[in-house]
Structure 1
Amino acid sequence: MPHGDVLLRELEGVYYREADLLDDREFEQWLEMLDDDLVYWMPLVRNVSSRESGEFSQQGTDMSWFDEDKVTLGKRIAQLKTGMHWSEEPVSRVTRMISNIRIVDERDEGREVTVRSKFILYQNRQDDEVNMFVGKRRDTWRRRPAGSWGLVRRDIILDQNVLLAKSLSVFF
């Protein structure tokens, strides 16, 4: 098997482990997968004509759904653990489906890679509150000295311009 295929299989395992950790609400273990210099970004999506540009808000100048780092994600996790987070009491049942995992760039002899993937995230709360998020991610992963992978950047693109969910209490 060529080196690229071995790397892809290894990263697919990272993505499936990450999805399991989040679905199982093992947020502290998920946080350990994030590098300290993480950028976690989800722009707003605008409806624009085919002749226009600017479909996505720009980081640093425009509004976004998320513009976070490891510290703020850790604070969100701490808040969820208090049991007093109104949008997660009772907790949601969540399933993530990750697919189309593809390495699109490899740097520093494979120690840093950019990966594209697609996701479907199903969330159910209470008896009848259902949310479905569908989109794409562009991630940068860095191999750590011990051999594991750390997430350095995640760009999340939702395939909807109006958020129909009452809150964004899930992680992508």
Structure 2
Amino acid sequence: MSTTTVNTTAGNTAATVTDTGALTQEQIRHLAEDFLAREAKLLDERRFDEWLTMIDDEIVYEVPIRSARLSFEDEVSGGGYRIRDDKPLLALRVARLDSGQAWAEVAPSRTLRVVGSVIVERGESADVVNVESALLLYRQRGHDELGDVIPVRRQDQLRLTADGPRLLRRTALLTTAILQTPNLGVFV
């Protein structure tokens, strides 16, 4: 079993623990919800370099292609992705957004992320937490009259580190089978 020191705040009391086994379910939930809220704020404020510091070096970030089927189990085939990135590719996307050459993001999108329906469970290893959440992403570009609403169901794994939680894995399932926005130049 790996040991990780995590600084967490429950109420006004700081506690240091060695793994998720030493945390209460309430503390684990607080860590996860705080992570998701801070991540949404950083992304909405286009503070991408700071967001990258919340990403684990072993990240798998994927948005699978979803198809309309009778059964939910058949909707994601596992073979096709709109996005499937690791940390170097995420860093490249951030650098491109900062370059002014990401034409899909000229003018930059204004976004608002609302995260809810959070379900938190202990992971298989002592330093991993499984988090499921729903995301409503509002996006408006330039002077468009109407913005896009992108509903997403996310399945995340957070690794607990001495510097706080890090996003280890994200699978973002877009609710719609057909992309209703011009591109996915934003992070979901």
- The two structures have a TM-score, normalised by structure 2, of 0.83
Determine the structure 1 residue equivalent to 2:48: 27
**Match in the other structure for 1:126:** 142
* CA–CA distance in structure 1, aligned partners of residues 174 and 73 of structure 2: 17
Aligned to 2:169: 153
1:1-172 alignment to 2 at 5 Å? 3-50=24-71, 53-58=73-78, 62-109=79-126, 111-128=127-144, 130-144=147-161, 146-172=162-188
Distance 1:64 1:106 in 2: 25
Q: What is the CA–CA distance in structure 1 between the aligned matches of 2:183 and 2:123, rounded to whole Å?
A: 35
| 8 Å contact kept, 2:118–2:132 | yes
Q: Which runs of 5+ in 1 are unaligned?
A: none
Q: How big is the shift at 1:46?
A: 0.7
1:92-140 alpha-carbon deviations (Å, 9 max, x no partner): 110000011111333444x211110000000001222522110211100
SS of residue matched to 1:118: strand
Match for 2:132: what amino acid?
R
TM-score where L is the length of structure 1: 0.90
Shift of 1:53: 4.9
Which amino acid in structure 2 is aligned with residue 102 of structure 1? I
How far apart are residue 154 of structure 1 and its match?
0.2
Query: Contact 1:57–1:64 at 8 Å: present in 2 too?
Result: no
Provide the aligned C-alpha RMSD in A.
1.7
SS of aligned partner of 1:77: helix
**Alpha-carbon distance in 2 for matches of 1:15, 1:112:** 15
1:40–1:155 Cα contact (<8 Å) kept: yes
The amino acid of 2:168's aligned partner reads V
CA deviation profile, 1:36-90 (whole Å, cap 9, x unmatched)? 110001111111124x8521130xxx22111111110110110110112111111
Distance 1:123 1:139 in 2: 22
Q: Percent identity?
A: 31
Aligned length: 166
